[in-house]
Amino acid sequence: MPIYEYFCDTCDKKFETLVLGGEVPVCPECGTQDIRRLMSACGFISKGSGGETVSMSAGDSGCGPCTSSNCSSCGI
Ligand SMILES: [Zn+2]
């Protein structure tokens, strides 16, 4: 089962959700579909790839969110 990390532009929050085939997840906070999928590897966020995901500055140095919860995607 693929668990993806998403970022909600409305709440400015990150969340993980299970995505079934073809399903478009919504933000658990505000219910919007205005969300972006982050790449599964946490390092990708800090590295960035042209600047779009780097705009998140809230404690994303390294793998912060993944050490406090189960981040099955990054394997830490
Ligand atoms: Zn939201």
What contacts 22, CB < 8 A, 6 or more positions away? none
Q: Which two tokens stand for residue 24?
A: 């478009």
Residue 19's contacts (CB-CB under 8 Å, 6 or more residues apart) are 2, 3, 4, 25
Which pLDDT belongs to residue 18? 86
Q: 51 C-alpha vs ligand 1 centroid, how far in Å?
A: 21
pTM listed for this prediction: 0.49
| Mean pLDDT score, 8-21 | 91
Q: Give the closest residue to 40 by CA, choosing from 13, 5, 65, 66.
A: 5
The pair of structure tokens assigned to 75 is 């394997």
Q: Where are the domains of the chain?
A: 3-68
Ligand 1 center to 14 CA (angstroms): 9
Inform me whether the pLDDT recorded for 19 exceeds 80.
yes
